[in-house]
Amino acid sequence: MLQRIVVLTGAGISAESGLRTFREEDGLWEKHPIEEVATPQAYQANPQKVRQFYNDRWQQLNKGDVQPNAAHLALARLEQEFAGRVHLVTQNVDNLHERAGFRRITHMHGELSKVRCPVSHQVFPMQQPLSDNNVCTCCIPHYPLRPHIVWFGEMPLGMAQIETDLAQCDLFVAIGTSGSVYPAAGFVDIAQSVGAKTIELNLEPSLTASHFQEVRVGPASQTVPTLVE
Ligand code: BJW
């Protein structure tokens, strides 16, 4: 019987909800090069441009037509079935897992709907598009708030708990991620090293597909409900 499950999700799980992935044709990086919007250096050089990139995505997320899809809903059912024994680690900054009802989530690359103080690292809900005028309330002087996003070169969030859970899991499932960004792309190797079963669900085999024991190809809205039921 399965005791502990770690699920890793990437942009592919939200693609059928209308959110763009990064590296596919017409992906986010095509019009917004990484070095212009997803590094601390980019933010330092042109904060307005970086804020615009995240404000636009935050606004899209809050439009009524972006909703959790069958894959998000199936994972929420999995959590109910395996109460307390599933840890969902998402690289996604959207909130579609929460809106589907999933509770135990680590957003390792941050969250679009939050901002944080660059000095104290205190996190606040994002209530309006981010601009020069949004400052923290935790410090004196007040510092300009930044997107609560993990850019290249920054430490992903919740790593200690993720590593603990990977070291104890007996099933690891990666869904809709290209396997091109570390440390997430290396999680399968940790799970494999402790003897867990490893399954990849993706539209096409990822860069790390050969590291998994089983690869199921297809849209997440079909493969995830099939796996869960
Ligand atoms: C479907 C589908 C459908 C489509 N159904 N599937 C050299 C070697 C190793 C590491 C490094 C290196 N040089 C630098 C590094 C480190 C660097 C890194 O990995 N760089 C690589 C480019 C090599 N990593 C970092 O800097 C990270 N920090 C770090 O390493 O700190 C040091 C440290 C950590 C831990 C321990 C010790 C030290 C930080 C990475 C931050 C990533 N940030 C981003 C942007 C911010 C968030 C945002 O704007 O949204 O996060 S980058 C971007 O990529 C985003 C994503 O979360 C991340 C992963 O992308 P994802 O989700 O895989 O999307 P895609 O588009 O790539 O793939 C989509 C997939 O879905 C495809 O496969 C499709 O087939 C599939 N799909 N439709 C199912 N319907």
Q: Which two tokens stand for residue 30?
A: 């095509």
Would you place residue 64 in the very low, low, confident or very high pLDDT band (cuts 50, 70, 90)? confident
- Average pLDDT, stretch 12-22? 97
Residue 1 has pLDDT above 90, yes or no: no
Question: Known binder of ligand: residue 146?
Answer: no
pLDDT digits over 39-51, tens only? 999 999 999 999 9
Residues 101-143 have pLDDT tens digits of: 999 999 999 999 999 999 999 999 999 999 999 999 999 999 9
Establish whether residue 180 lines the binding site of ligand 1, counting it when its CB lies within 6 angstroms of any ligand atom: yes
Query: DSSP per residue over 27-83, as a string?
Result: -HHHHS-HHHHSSHHHHHH-HHHHHHHHHHHHHHHTSTT----HHHHHHHHHHHHTT
ipTM: 0.96
Our answer on whether the CB atom of 223 is closer than 6 Å to any ligand 1 atom is: no
214 is in an annotated binding site: no
Q: Does 142 participate in catalysis according to the annotation?
A: no
Q: How is domain 1-18+67-109+152-229 classified at the CATH fold level?
A: Rossmann fold (3.40.50)
For residue 12, give the 3-state DSSP assignment: helix
